[in-house]
Homo-oligomer: A and B are copies of this chain.
């Protein structure tokens, strides 16, 4: 079942390796079938080089395994929470990519230091609060999803398509698994540029009107970046 989505999710997981966002098994990607609401996700702890599209695990929205020979990614409850909370999401990605993780480990939002950032995030990339002892000890992965949503608050997740989990690393998403990977790669580069900006003594976010201009020329109804008949990316 869901062979096309399994292949998309497989390609998304492989894409994490191609973009240099993961080593070993430090990342996972999932996608949602818009029709059935089923989630397809990477199996836990399986290496990217030996993994096949058919190894992807199918879960129902509450996390029951519907199909698959393997256990799903340990982070599945985080993915599932985000899908339940945000109907607009079609793909979720988690990585420990170097620079995004460094910001998460420092417990800091990434300020919009430039237009590269503004092209992708309509404001700072938010960092969550730390989880409490109770949140870590009980339903940890579910609570990771909750703390992401808490940090987003009223923000549209497609306008701020990533949150850094404090002391952990980035979760990214999009309308499908490919866009979630695209955002994870953009985030890593933005995090890297931002760190080097800090090293050079940069402190100021760009002006609000420049943030507006760049974000809105790529996104929303007045966007003029890209091709008219094509997806905005």
Contacts and interface: CB of A to CB of B under 8 A. Distances in A.
Nearest to A71: B227
Interface string A66-108: 0000110010000000000000000000001011011111111
A218 B177 CA distance: 26
A161 interface: no
A71 B228 CA distance: 8
Contacts of A96: 115-116, 189, 193
* Copies of chain A in the complex: 4
B200 A106 contact: yes
A95 to B, nearest CB: 10
A136 B115 CA distance: 12
Given A45-B226, A213-B136, A228-B71, A167 B115 contact: yes
Contacts of A195: 196, 199-200
B202 A107 contact: yes
A186 B105 CA distance: 16
A199 B202 contact: no
29 contacts: A23-B185, A23-B189, A24-B186, A24-B233, A26-B119, A44-B225, A44-B227, A45-B226, A45-B227, A45-B230, A71-B228, A96-B189, A102-B193, A102-B199, A102-B202, A103-B200, A106-B197, A106-B202, A107-B204, A108-B200, A108-B201, A113-B167, A114-B169, A115-B167, A131-B210, A133-B209, A137-B213, A140-B217, A167-B207
Interface of A: 19, 23-26, 43-46, 70-71, 74, 96, 98-99, 101-108, 113-116, 119, 130-131, 133, 136-137, 140, 167-169, 182, 185-186, 189, 192-202, 204, 206-207, 209-210, 213, 217, 224-228, 230, 232-233
